Structure formats: structure tokens, C-alpha cells
Chains A and B, each alone.
Chain A
Amino acid sequence: MNPMLNLWLIPVLPLAGAAINGFLGKRSSRHAVTTIALFFSGAAFAMALSVVARFSSLTLPYHEYLAHWIRSGTFRVDFAFYLDQLSLVMLLVVTGVGFLIHIYSVGYMWDDPSYYRFFSYLNLFMFFMLTLVLASNYLLMFIGWEGVGLASYLLIGFWFTKDSAAAAGKKAFIVNRIGDFGFLIALFLLIKHFGSLNFDQVFQSITPLGAETAGAGLLTTIGILLMVGACGKSAQIPLYIWLPDAMEGPTPVSALIHAATMVTAGVYMVSRSHVIFERAPIALTVVAIIGTLTAFFAATIGVAQTDIKKVLAYSTISQLGYMFMACGVGAFSAGIFHLMTHAFFKGLLFLAAGSVIHAVGGEQDMRKMGGLRTRIPWTFWTMTAGTLAIAGIPGLAGFFSKDEILWRSYQASWAYWLVGLVTAFLTSFYMFRLWFMTFFGEYRGEADAGHGHANHSAHDRHGDHGHGGIHESPKVMVVPLAILAVLSVIGGYVGVPGSLGGNNQFDKFLGPVFHGSAPANAQNAAVGEKAAPEEETEGNEPKKAASTELMFTAISVVVALLGFGLAWQLYYRNPQLPDKIAASMSGAYQTLLHKYYVDELYGALFVKPLIDGSTRILWQGVDRKIIDAAVNDAGDGAKLVSDIVRHMQSGNIRSYAGWVAAGSAVVIAFMIWMGVR
């Protein structure tokens, strides 16, 4: 018998915070708003920690029923929560990183006139994200899924008076809608064929099924549709275009929603549905290919961006690609591991970037930064930790998780591994490029005094405290940075692989969720899944496997260092060189700079035909010529008839008398006619 955990409180607490701040925040002081926001998000984190404390005494998965929602025949959907190792990891990441970012936002948003609105939205986001993570059925998950989309929309368009921010919010919402459409159809298919949306029931009825090795069947369809949903939410090809634009939002939002938590919802959903995917090898291959391509594609774009947040945005897309690559080769726990470490270091990188932007007064263009190393030492050192972690420097969080993914993907196919390796190189290169451009060399911005005020309206407005000069951020921003930096450094040690003397505890922790559910005939369904127990349990040649893995680790370390070396050459020793290279390869450079013209392509392929069709056919055709015309003609007809009839009522008595006489004449004529007949 499980103790009562009161899981429902975890999402509801931030909701209460959102409601209080949303309704009363306008009239209360900033301190009151801060207290409310931090209390409720902190309480959610404390609840999550209390769950951890009692975790070992639980029989998993833990179910909690709150209230019934839909009951129709045998079909039931309840407000019920579900806790297993996977949701626990997500829960800790969301509440932990979320709470830190709440603290950071206090400093970052302090001078914003809509301070209370920001925290209300942020808490609302926490509510929906926690609902998503804790849901015990797909429909409740979908509520959270849509809800985080809403919160994301509200926060991207937080400065809605700026046209670009409003447009970016809209773009994110619409692109997500396309993905959600796929997700929804997958849910309908689940209801139709399995009669339930509860994780337990669905997976139980799927488990006896064999893998669809011969061609695409029902599970493949469902899997691919779920992946469409994940592509929208987690910004994968072809629906990734909204994420870079989402950088219009305040930087803490970019850190929380568009790096650490919301965008990983797709990875979580795919991992949660691993039972389906394991039986649908084609869908799994689609996931792997999409992930691999996205990882590489986004990394190449990231190389040419000059906006510090855009670099990080493309980096996020690329890292999400890694996670999908891991899921696609069946290494779900590796994907979740990377999700967690990524939440630490990418959250950190965004917050540090926010701190840099704060320091230079709202400037986001890296070409106008430089030499900030000594001016903002805290930001510099924390960002260094994040950069090293994401680049895969040994000993830091990103190294372990990325290495795990590369190793597992190699077991599936060398092609995934190769692309992943090139991506790792690019990652290391663009991250150190950012690092060198921002912190080293000469300061290339405007003069220190009275900095940046002109930029405030054009760029990320932030809490400028009115003192001039480049300055370190206040403590309330630096402390979360420091905590995240520590996590980025040590976060990987929960999953040290066997080849490096660890025992991959993270994988074992998630083991009960992912292992033992693979189909009986899944010979080629999930290679990684098959290989993983082999690696751990087989006594035959663990040494050999370990040494191979060690070799791959060495290769990825070398690649990461190569990326560092190239960035060092280009952006530290010879800062003029990149421009020359860009000039000599202007075609390629321009393509990268314009993100492969994908936005333009989508604009020409989808947006313009839609707008034109709506304008010409729906608006000018249907709306004006049919609907409007019908209404207008009805009005005109009434007017025409009354125009004729109104002459009877002229106010002239003799004309009335005339009508009376004419009427009488008609009556008499009628009577005579009747009489004659």
C-alpha cells in the first residue's frame, strides 16, 4: 500500500500562484508578487523533493486518482496522476530548474512594468508542464501539452507591443497547432483500437502485440503521428521554425520554456510511449532520422548566427535532435539523461546570456560584445561551465549524456553516429565561438557610459537599473547561475558509463520503465534496447565492449577539442579571418546566415498560398460575394419594398381618402364579381 503523496498539489500550487498574481498582482507591490510567485513555485519544488524522500518506499508506478472527468460506456478518462522513475526525473527537472529560473527572473524582470503578469504566466506554465509530466493518461497529458503551448505563446508575446514579438508568438502557436493535430489523431486512433487513453491500459493491450516488422501497421501510424506532435512541440524538422523566433520573449522564458522544459515535452512523450515505438520499427527509424537530421541541420545554422540568443536557440534544436536520435535507436534512458543534463546546461547558458545582455544594456549582437571576461566574472565563469558542458569536455554533464547517445546510436547504425559526431564538432565550435566573441578580445560595443539605452526598445528589454557601464548582474540573478553551473558540472555523474568506471546508475534507475517491455520478436526493432542489457549483463566480453566504447569516447573528446581549437583560431587569434572566410564562401555563408531560407520557403509554399487563398477566395469570394451579399441583398430588398409602400402613408389626408375609395371600389368590384359568378 502506497502512502498518499498528494501529487495533485504539485501542479495546483503554481496554478494558485498564477491565479493570485494574475488577479491581484496589478494592485500589489513587486515584493508581494515576488513572494507569491516564489512561494508557490518553491512549494512545488519542495513537494517534488518530498516525493523523492519517500520514493524508495513506493511501489511503482504510483497512481493517484483525483476526480473523474469523462465516462462514456467503458471509455474512461480521469483526472489522475501517475508517477514512475521517468516522471520523477521530469518532475525534478521542471520544478528544480523552474524554481531557479523564477528566482533569476526576479532580478531580470524587476523594472518591467508588467512584472506581475510575467510571474503569473510563468507560474501558469509550471502548472501545465507539471500536469503534462504527471498525467496518467494521454488526454490529461494533452491538456498540459496544449497548456504549455498557451503559456509559451503568452510569454513569447510578452512584450506584445513589439510587432516582432507578437508575430513570433503567433508563429509558435500556429506551428505547434500542426503538430498537435498529429498528436490528436494518434489519440483518436488509440481510443478507436484500444478503447482507452490510460497509459497502463493502452500499454497493457499493446504489450502482447508483436513488432510490426513487415510494413507499416496501426502502431506505426500511431507512432508517426505522435512523432508529428513531438516535432511541433520539440522543434524538430520540419516544424522547428518557431523556436528561433521564440527568442523574442524575455530571456528567462527562453531558458525555462524554450530550452529546459517545454521543448523537451516531445522527448518525454515519445519516451512515455516507448511501448508503442518499440513495436513500430519504422516509426522508430523515422524518429531517429528526424532527430539526426535536425541535430546536424540546426548546428550548421548555429555556426553563422550573430545574435547570442539565436545561437543558443539553434543549439537547443540541435540538442533536442540528439535526444530524438537516442529515442529513435531505442536508447530512451540516454535521451532522458541528455534531456536532464541539457536542462541544466542550456538553462544555464540562456540565463548567462541573459546576464550578458543585461550587462551590456540590451545588446544581443555578439559582434558588439567582446572582452567581457573581467567585467562580469560571475557570468563569465558560469557560462564557461555551461559551454564546456555542452561541448562535451570530459567530466562535465554534457559529456556523459552525449557520449552515451553517440555510443548507443553507433550500435544502431554508424551513419547516426557519424552525423552525431560531426554535430558534436559543430556544437563545440559554435559554443566556443560564442564564448570567444562574447568574453574575449576587445569590447566592440558603444562606449561604456550611458550604454545601451537606445537599444532598449529594439532589443530584449530588461531591467536596467539606470546605472551606466557594463555591470555584473545582481545577486538574485547570479546565485541561480551558480547553482546551475554546479549542476552542469556534476549532473553527469549520475550516469557514468561502465567503460569509464561507473555503473550507469541513471540507466538502471530508469530501467524498470524502459526495459522488459520490448516485444518478443523485436530482433531489429530496437537495437539499442537489445544491446543495453547485453552490455550490462553479459559476462563474455564486457572488456572488449568497454574498450570499444572507450575508443568512441576518446573520438568524441578529440572532436570537441577540435571544435574548441577551430573557434580559438578563428575568433581569438585571428579575429579577421572569419570575415575573410565568409567573404570567400559567400554563397554558403549567406545560406547559413539565412537559415537555409527555410522560412522563405515555407512562406512561399504554405503561408503565401494560404493568405492568398483566404484573401481571394474566402474573403473576397465567399465572405464578400456570398455571405455579405446575401445580407445586403436582404436589406436592399426590404428597402425597395418599403420604398414603394411608404408612399401610401404620406400624411396627406386626401391621399388616404383616395386609398379608401380605391379599396372600397376593389371590394365592391369583388362582390359584384362574386355575385355575377
Chain B
Amino acid sequence: MVPLSYYLVLSGFLFACGVAGFLIKRNIITIFMSIELMLNGVNLSFVAFAAHWHALSGQVFVFFVMVVAAAEAAVGLAIIIAVYRTRGTLNVDQVNLLKL
């Protein structure tokens, strides 16, 4: 049996990678992926705890998170396409105007 701490360290690592990517990267797609990475880091900690405590609620929450993430991905990607069409770039530093 793998100890809980291993999962948590991995979860923290994934989340940190997500944060770093979110802060450092300029491409919206990459930022989007970093957000997914953070969500999945959190998900990992949820399932790890759920397994550890033999409680199902953690796993239920993971499903919720995945559903929301899927919805977010759908909306987010649509926005990204719209942004790319109107501005011809995905660099967030250049996308700084609400109105063109």
C-alpha cells in the first residue's frame, strides 16, 4: 500500500506545476492547460483522502470537479477561438483590451 503522503506530495507537485505554468506562460492554451493541471492536482488529493478514510464523498466531489472542468473547457475553448479570430494572437499580454 502506497502511503498517503506520497499522493499528497504528488498532488502538491502537480498543483505547483499548474500555478507555475499559469504564472509563467503567455499562451492562453497553455494557461488553460495549467488550470486543468491544478484542478487535477486537487482531484488527486481528494481521491487519495477518500481512499485513505474509506469515505466516498471525496470521490463524489472529484466527479463534480470533472464535470465543471469539462464545462469550463468547452466554454473556455470557445472563448479562445473567438479571441484568436478577432485578434489573431493567443498571447495574453497582447489581449489587454475589453473592447476593440
B74 near A: Cβ within 8 Å?
no
In whole angstroms, how far apart are the Cα atoms of A653 and B22 in the complex?
Answer: 11
Contact between chains at B19 and A654 (CB < 8 Å): no
Chain A residues in 8 Å Cβ range of B22: 654, 657
Contact B19 A661 (CB under 8 A): yes
Closest Cβ of chain B to A142, distance in Å, is 74
Residues of B within 8 A of A657 (CB): 22-23
CB distance from B13 to the nearest CB of A (A): 14
Of residues 6 through 30 on chain B, the ones whose CB sits less than 8 Å from some CB of chain A are 19, 22-23
Instruction: Point out the residues of chain A lying under 8 angstroms from B23, CB to CB.
Output: 654, 657-658, 661
Q: Across the interface, which residues of A come within 8 angstroms of B81, CB to CB?
A: none
* Nearest A-chain residue to B92, judged by Cβ: A654
Number of A residues contacting the other chain (C-beta, 8 Å)?
A: 5
CB-nearest residue of chain A relative to B31?
A654
Q: Which residue of B lies closest to A651 (CB)?
A: B96
Q: How many B residues touch A, CB cutoff 8 Å?
A: 4
Contacting residues, chain B, for A654 (C-beta < 8 A): 22-23, 92
**Distance in Å: Cβ of A663 to nearest Cβ of chain B:** 12
In chain B, what residue has the closest Cβ to A658? B23
CB distance from A654 to the nearest CB of B (A): 6
Question: Which residues does chain B contribute within 8 Å of A661, judged by CB atoms?
Answer: 19, 23
CB distance from B56 to the nearest CB of A (A): 27
Q: How far is the CA of A658 from the CA of B22 in the complex (A)?
A: 9
* Contact indicator per residue, chain A 629-654, by CB within 8 Å of chain B (1) or not (0): 00000000000000000000000011
Question: What is the bound-complex CA distance between A653 and B98, given in angstroms?
Answer: 13
Give complex CA distance A523, B19 in Å.
Answer: 109
Cα–Cα, bound, A129→B23 (Å): 85
Bound-state CA distance A657–B23 (Å) is 7
- Cα separation A530 to B20 with both chains bound (whole Å): 111
Q: Mark A233-244, 1 if CB is under 8 A from B, else 0.
A: 000000000000
Please give the distance in Å from A648's CB to the nearest CB on chain B: 15
Nearest chain B residue, comparing its CB with the CB of A661: B19
Name the residue of chain B whose CB is nearest to the CB of A654: B23
A653–B96 Cα gap in the complex (Å)?
Answer: 9
A658 to B25, CA, bound (A): 12
Residues of A within 8 A of B92 (CB): 653-654
Interface string of B22-62 (1 = CB under 8 A from A): 11000000000000000000000000000000000000000
Residues facing B in A199-236 (CB within 8 A) are: none
* Distance between Cα atoms of A88 and B22 in the complex (Å): 100
Query: Bound state CA distance, A654 and B23, in angstroms?
Result: 6
A657 to B22 alpha-carbon distance, docked (Å): 8
Distance in Å from the Cβ of B30 to the closest Cβ of chain A? 12
Give the residue among A654, A657, A658, A661 with the most B Cβ atoms within 10 A: A654
The distance from the CB of A5 to the nearest CB of chain B, in whole angstroms, is 88
Nearest A residue to B23, CB-CB: A658
Chain A residues closer than 8 Å to B19, beta-carbon distance: 661
Nearest CB of chain B from residue A659's CB, rounded to whole Å: 10
| Min CB gap A627→B, angstroms | 46
Smallest distance from the beta carbon of A30 to chain B beta carbons, Å?
A: 71
Q: How far is the CB of A117 from chain B (nearest CB, A)?
A: 65
CA distance A661 to B24 in the complex (A): 12
In Å, the complex CA distance between A654 and B31 comes to 10
Give the Cβ gap from A463 to chain B, nearest Cβ, in Å: 75
Within the complex, the shortest CB–CB distance from B96 to chain A, in Å, comes to 8
Contacts of A658 in B (CB 8 A): 23
How far is the CB of B77 from the nearest CB of chain A, in Å? Answer: 19
A462 CB to nearest B CB, Å: 76
- A108–B92 Cα distance when bound, in Å, is 86
Question: Closest residue to A653 on the B side, CB-wise?
Answer: B92
Q: How far is the CB of B76 from chain A (nearest CB, A)?
A: 15
Give the residues in chain B near A653, CB-CB below 8 Å: 92
> Within the assembled complex, what's the spacing in Å between the Cα atoms of A654 and B28?
12
A-contact bits for B50-87, CB 8 A (1 contact / 0 none):
00000000000000000000000000000000000000
Give chain B nearest CB distance to A104 CB in angstroms: 82
Alpha-carbon distance A653/B92, docked complex (angstroms): 10
Q: Residue on A with the closest CB to B25?
A: A654
Cα separation A143 to B55 with both chains bound (whole Å): 95
In the complex, how many angstroms separate the beta carbon of B14 from the nearest chain A beta carbon? 15
Q: Mark A643-677, 1 if CB is under 8 A from B, else 0.
A: 00000000001100110010000000000000000
What is the minimal beta-carbon distance from B48 to any residue of chain A, in angstroms? 17
CB distance from A661 to the nearest CB of B (A): 5
- A348-377 interface (Cβ within 8 A of B): none
- Complex Cα distance, B19 from A661, in Å, reads 7
Q: Nearest chain B CB to A276's CB is how many angstroms away?
A: 88
Q: Tell me the bound Cα distance from A653 to B26 in angstroms.
A: 12
Q: Please, which residue of chain A has its CB at the minimum distance from the CB of B22?
A: A657
CB distance from B62 to the nearest CB of A (A): 21
Instruction: Tell me the bound Cα distance from A418 to B92 in angstroms.
Output: 107
Smallest CB–CB gap between B59 and chain A, Å? 24
* B64 smallest CB distance to A (angstroms): 22
Instruction: Provide the bound-state CA to CA distance between A661 and B38, in Å.
Output: 12
Known: A653-B92, A654-B22, A654-B23. 4 other contacts (CB 8 A): A654-B92, A657-B22, A657-B23, A661-B23
Q: Which residues of B approach A to under 8 Å, CB–CB?
A: 19, 22-23, 92
Residues of A in contact with B (beta carbons under 8 Å apart): 653-654, 657-658, 661
CB-defined A-B contacts under 8 Å, sample of 9:
A653-B92, A654-B22, A654-B23, A654-B92, A657-B22, A657-B23, A658-B23, A661-B19, A661-B23
Going nearest first, the 3 A-B pairs with the smallest beta carbon separation are: A661-B19, A658-B23, A654-B23
